[in-house]
Structure 1
Amino acid sequence: MPMDLKLGDIIQVKKNHPCGSNQFEIMRTGMDFRIRCLGCDKQVWIPRVKLEKRIKKIVERKEK
Protein backbone atom coordinates (compact mmCIF):
# COMPACT_ATOMS: atom_id res chain seq x y z
CA MET A 1 0.00 0.00 0.00
CA PRO A 2 1.42 3.43 -0.94
CA MET A 3 2.46 5.91 1.73
CA ASP A 4 0.11 8.81 2.46
CA LEU A 5 2.11 11.69 0.95
CA LYS A 6 0.45 14.98 0.06
CA LEU A 7 1.37 18.20 -1.70
CA GLY A 8 3.39 20.49 0.52
CA ASP A 9 4.65 17.76 2.90
CA ILE A 10 8.27 18.17 3.99
CA ILE A 11 10.18 14.88 3.98
CA GLN A 12 13.63 13.85 5.16
CA VAL A 13 15.49 11.34 2.98
CA LYS A 14 18.23 8.90 3.98
CA LYS A 15 20.85 10.27 1.59
CA ASN A 16 21.83 13.94 1.31
CA HIS A 17 21.39 15.97 -1.87
CA PRO A 18 24.72 17.14 -3.36
CA CYS A 19 24.12 20.60 -1.82
CA GLY A 20 24.16 19.01 1.65
CA SER A 21 20.45 19.22 2.51
CA ASN A 22 18.35 16.12 3.17
CA GLN A 23 14.91 17.80 3.32
CA PHE A 24 12.56 18.10 0.37
CA GLU A 25 9.09 19.52 -0.26
CA ILE A 26 6.63 17.47 -2.32
CA MET A 27 5.53 19.57 -5.31
CA ARG A 28 3.56 16.95 -7.31
CA THR A 29 2.18 13.49 -6.52
CA GLY A 30 1.13 10.52 -8.62
CA MET A 31 3.13 7.73 -10.28
CA ASP A 32 6.09 10.12 -10.33
CA PHE A 33 6.80 12.73 -7.67
CA ARG A 34 8.34 16.14 -8.17
CA ILE A 35 10.27 17.16 -5.07
CA ARG A 36 12.11 20.41 -4.35
CA CYS A 37 15.30 20.52 -2.31
CA LEU A 38 14.96 22.99 0.57
CA GLY A 39 18.70 23.73 0.48
CA CYS A 40 19.18 24.82 -3.13
CA ASP A 41 15.63 24.89 -4.63
CA LYS A 42 16.54 22.28 -7.28
CA GLN A 43 13.52 20.26 -8.45
CA VAL A 44 13.81 16.52 -9.11
CA TRP A 45 11.40 14.01 -10.67
CA ILE A 46 11.48 10.58 -8.99
CA PRO A 47 9.24 7.49 -9.29
CA ARG A 48 6.98 6.76 -6.29
CA VAL A 49 8.63 3.40 -5.55
CA LYS A 50 12.14 4.92 -5.35
CA LEU A 51 10.98 7.85 -3.24
CA GLU A 52 9.14 5.66 -0.71
CA LYS A 53 12.29 3.57 -0.21
CA ARG A 54 14.43 6.68 0.37
CA ILE A 55 12.17 8.46 2.89
CA LYS A 56 13.51 8.48 6.44
CA LYS A 57 10.63 10.43 7.99
CA ILE A 58 7.94 13.01 7.30
CA VAL A 59 9.08 16.21 9.02
CA GLU A 60 6.00 18.38 8.48
CA ARG A 61 2.53 17.67 7.11
CA LYS A 62 0.41 20.21 5.27
CA GLU A 63 -3.23 20.07 6.34
CA LYS A 64 -5.71 20.64 3.51
Structure 2
Amino acid sequence: MPKDFSVGDRVEFKKTHPCGGKNWKILRVGMDFKAKCETCERVIMLSRNKFEKSVKKKL
Protein backbone atom coordinates (compact mmCIF):
# COMPACT_ATOMS: atom_id res chain seq x y z
CA MET A 1 0.00 0.00 0.00
CA PRO A 2 1.81 3.19 -1.17
CA LYS A 3 1.83 6.12 1.21
CA ASP A 4 0.90 9.61 0.06
CA PHE A 5 3.88 12.00 0.00
CA SER A 6 4.30 15.27 -1.88
CA VAL A 7 7.05 17.81 -2.44
CA GLY A 8 7.51 20.08 0.57
CA ASP A 9 6.30 17.56 3.15
CA ARG A 10 8.38 17.12 6.29
CA VAL A 11 9.00 13.59 7.57
CA GLU A 12 10.77 11.95 10.49
CA PHE A 13 13.00 8.93 9.80
CA LYS A 14 13.32 5.95 12.14
CA LYS A 15 17.10 6.27 12.36
CA THR A 16 19.03 9.46 13.03
CA HIS A 17 21.36 10.96 10.47
CA PRO A 18 25.06 11.07 11.51
CA CYS A 19 24.63 14.82 12.18
CA GLY A 20 21.97 13.98 14.80
CA GLY A 21 18.92 15.11 12.82
CA LYS A 22 15.80 13.02 12.22
CA ASN A 23 13.67 15.51 10.27
CA TRP A 24 13.83 15.70 6.48
CA LYS A 25 12.10 17.82 3.82
CA ILE A 26 11.01 16.09 0.61
CA LEU A 27 12.40 17.75 -2.54
CA ARG A 28 11.39 15.21 -5.22
CA VAL A 29 8.73 12.50 -5.44
CA GLY A 30 8.52 9.66 -7.96
CA MET A 31 10.25 6.31 -8.31
CA ASP A 32 13.09 7.94 -6.38
CA PHE A 33 12.77 10.37 -3.50
CA LYS A 34 15.11 13.29 -2.87
CA ALA A 35 15.16 14.61 0.68
CA LYS A 36 17.13 17.28 2.55
CA CYS A 37 18.20 16.98 6.19
CA GLU A 38 16.86 19.96 8.14
CA THR A 39 19.86 19.95 10.49
CA CYS A 40 22.90 19.81 8.18
CA GLU A 41 21.27 20.52 4.77
CA ARG A 42 22.62 17.23 3.26
CA VAL A 43 20.60 16.02 0.24
CA ILE A 44 20.05 12.29 -0.32
CA MET A 45 18.23 10.20 -2.90
CA LEU A 46 16.46 6.97 -1.98
CA SER A 47 14.32 4.54 -3.93
CA ARG A 48 10.60 4.67 -3.14
CA ASN A 49 10.77 1.30 -1.37
CA LYS A 50 13.68 2.29 0.88
CA PHE A 51 12.18 5.71 1.60
CA GLU A 52 8.78 4.35 2.67
CA LYS A 53 10.47 1.82 4.98
CA SER A 54 12.65 4.55 6.54
CA VAL A 55 9.85 7.01 7.36
CA LYS A 56 8.49 6.88 10.90
CA LYS A 57 5.85 9.62 10.55
CA LYS A 58 4.81 12.67 8.58
CA LEU A 59 5.24 15.97 10.45
Query: TM above 0.5, one fold?
Result: yes
Equivalent position of 1:3 in the other structure: 3
Partner-residue secondary structure (3-state), 1:56: strand
After TM superposition, where is structure 1 displaced by more than 6 Å over at least 4 residues in a row?
none
For 2:34 and 2:19, locate their aligned partners in 1 and report how far apart those are by CA, in whole Å.
Answer: 18
Unaligned runs of at least 5 residues, structure 1: 60-64
For 1:51 and 1:45, locate their aligned partners in 2 and report how far apart those are by CA, in whole Å.
Answer: 9
* One-letter amino acid of the counterpart of residue 24, structure 2: F
1:2, distance to aligned residue in structure 2 (A) = 1.3
* One-letter amino acid of the counterpart of residue 19, structure 1: C
Q: Percent identity?
A: 42
1:17-36 matches, within 5 Å, as 17-36=17-36
Root mean square deviation, CA, Å: 0.5
Equivalent position of 1:52 in the other structure: 52
For 1:55 and 1:34, locate their aligned partners in 2 and report how far apart those are by CA, in whole Å.
Answer: 13
Equivalent position of 1:62 in the other structure: none
